[in-house]
Chains A and B, each alone.
Chain A
Amino acid sequence: MWSLSGVAVVVLGFAARVNPLLVVVAAALVSGIAGGLEPGAVIAAFGKAFNENRYVSLTWLVLPAIGALERAGLQERARELILKIRGASVASILCIYLLVRQVTVALGLPFGGQATMVRPLIAPMTEAAAEARVADLTDSQRDAIRAHVAAADNVGAFFGEDIFVAIGSVLLIKGFLAENGITADPLQLSLWAIPTAVAAWAIHAGHIALFARRLGRGR
């Protein structure tokens, strides 16, 4: 039971806004020592896992291309393009992006992502649409718009991906149920993801609409 003290370290550390990297190291040490490991063994276990999980950081390989595109005016072009579309508003851009993200992810297509779509394209488009309607956006309004774009990307990805039969989580469920003597067809699992996906779109679109209305009314 004492190994749970590492979880407590994480919760407290994040709540107190300590540097998250320090929180993680402290949690690993506390949990490992409470679980009966020597400090040196905890460092070795962490180092081993860190090395094995390097693939998690490979997403950053895309940043030079994104940076070069920004240098060449990608964000500015995205803004110009969206202003040419009549009816483009904060709410319509976010709701459509949410839907497109859900549908493409459900088809197993790698469209979207925080580094590849949100920062260089969708965030500037949404900000431009907001600027066209609300004069002089404040910094906190700008931050709120950006946070909404990032959230639409996440909600779309989470509540679309399980409709794709070959996604990791569907295969994990299938494997887990098989170990417990239950045969599950991945297609059945992905069909049961559809009602929640529809509800996620409706709920989050409502949330977006409320935000856009508040934004339109000014501060």
Chain B
Amino acid sequence: MIGIGPVYVLAGLMFGAMALMSARDPRNPRRWRNTAFWGLYAISFLFGDLLGDFGNGILVLAMVAVAAAGLGIGRPQTTTPDERKLLARKFGNAIFAPSLAIPLVTIFAAFVLRQIFIAGRPLIDPAQTTLIGLALASVTAVILCRVLLKQRIVAALDEGRRLMDLLGWAALLPQMLSALGAVFAVAGVGTAIGQIASQAIPGGSRAAAVVAYAFGMALFTAVMGNAFAAFPVLTIGIGLPLIVMKFHGDPIAMSAIGMLSGFCGTLTTPMAANFNLVPAALLGLKNRYGVIAVQIPTAILLLMVNMVLMYVVVFR
């Protein structure tokens, strides 16, 4: 059975190659920092399971120290805008084939590879279908670029390095925030928030209960960066005791709309780095909170709609 292991090895090799390419890039004045950063990332993917908990902790601290000192942006040998226009004419719509292959291969993994059994055992780990599919899709797209568009594999890795350098610290942040969530859980942050939520229970009216639950979901999602973490806390603290037990509301509609109220919070928070900060880096925005700024008005209006909707359907 193919599990997540080979995918981590693939990622480790990719970051290792990027570290070597950084070391050989004289046009990046901070190339040794980039080499160290991507090199440490490669070590994490290749040998993370052998380092032990404390060893991994030290590895993270080293990566953070390098990133805080400031990474540079590598400048691979790439094509000029004019060359790209010519290439775009030459290749025509064939250029879209590799990018279409990415979702198609992911779907193929999810619906076909998942069903394949060899000697009674699944070919790929059913719990990891999405990630294995993503890895297969990425490899397929690089191969298609080689075959259809004559882009050498080394060039692809070097272009990947250009994008990774553009991300810089933002590349590590989503994983760091997930790890922070785990430390918060060990330290009892969720329990503390639950206590506050249940102490802040509003008085008698149904409307107040709905507002407290939906607003609480949005607020705690914004704080934790993740609606999945806020949902159990708020639903135990306010949703079930008040809306369901006291006012006999429908728990199913309440939960569905409650989760979506949490997503309104996700739109507003840097804690949801992969959605909000990573694209700002990837698109080269000057304001790291530029994407959040666009999303806030939509989030506020939609949260109000959710409150009205919840009030109407939960007590129907």
Binding site for B on A (CB under 8 A): 1, 3-4, 6-7, 10-11, 14, 17, 19-22, 24-25, 27-28, 31-32, 34-37, 40, 42-77, 80-81, 109-111, 114-116, 118-121, 123, 139-140, 143-144, 146-151, 153-155, 158-159, 162, 168-170, 172-173, 176-177, 180, 182, 184-185, 188-190, 192-193, 195-196, 199-200, 203-204, 207, 211
Contacts and interface: CB of A to CB of B under 8 A. Distances in A.
Contacts of A110: 103, 106-107, 110, 130
B160 A42 contact: no
B286 interface: yes
Contacts of B99: 65-66, 69, 74, 116, 120-121
Contacts of A20: 169-170, 173, 176, 270, 273, 277
B14 A61 contact: yes
A196 B141 CA distance: 35
Interface in B249-276: 251-253, 255-257, 259-260, 263, 266-267, 270-271, 273-276
The majority secondary structure among interface residues of chain A is helix
Contact of A77 (B56, B91, B182, B189): B91
A60 B178 contact: no
Interface residues of B, number: 142
19 contacts: A46-B179, A57-B11, A58-B135, A65-B98, A68-B160, A71-B79, A72-B95, A76-B85, A76-B88, A110-B106, A115-B282, A119-B283, A143-B290, A154-B267, A176-B232, A182-B251, A188-B252, A192-B253, A192-B257
B237 to A, nearest CB: 13
A192 to B, nearest CB: 4
A158 B266 contact: yes
B295 A151 contact: yes
B159 A147 contact: no
Given A57-B175, A68-B155, A75-B84, 20 more contacts: A1-B192, A4-B189, A6-B187, A36-B187, A48-B57, A49-B179, A51-B44, A57-B171, A64-B138, A68-B151, A71-B84, A73-B86, A116-B103, A118-B282, A140-B286, A143-B286, A169-B228, A196-B305, A203-B301, A207-B297
Interface of B: 4, 7-8, 10-11, 14, 41, 44-45, 48-49, 51-61, 63-64, 67-68, 78-79, 81, 83-89, 91-93, 95-96, 98-99, 102-103, 106-107, 110, 130-131, 134-135, 137-138, 141-142, 145, 149, 151, 155-164, 167, 169-184, 186-189, 192-193, 195, 223, 227-228, 231-232, 235-236, 240, 251-253, 255-257, 259-260, 263, 266-267, 270-271, 273-280, 282-288, 290-291, 293-295, 297-298, 301-302, 305-306, 309, 313
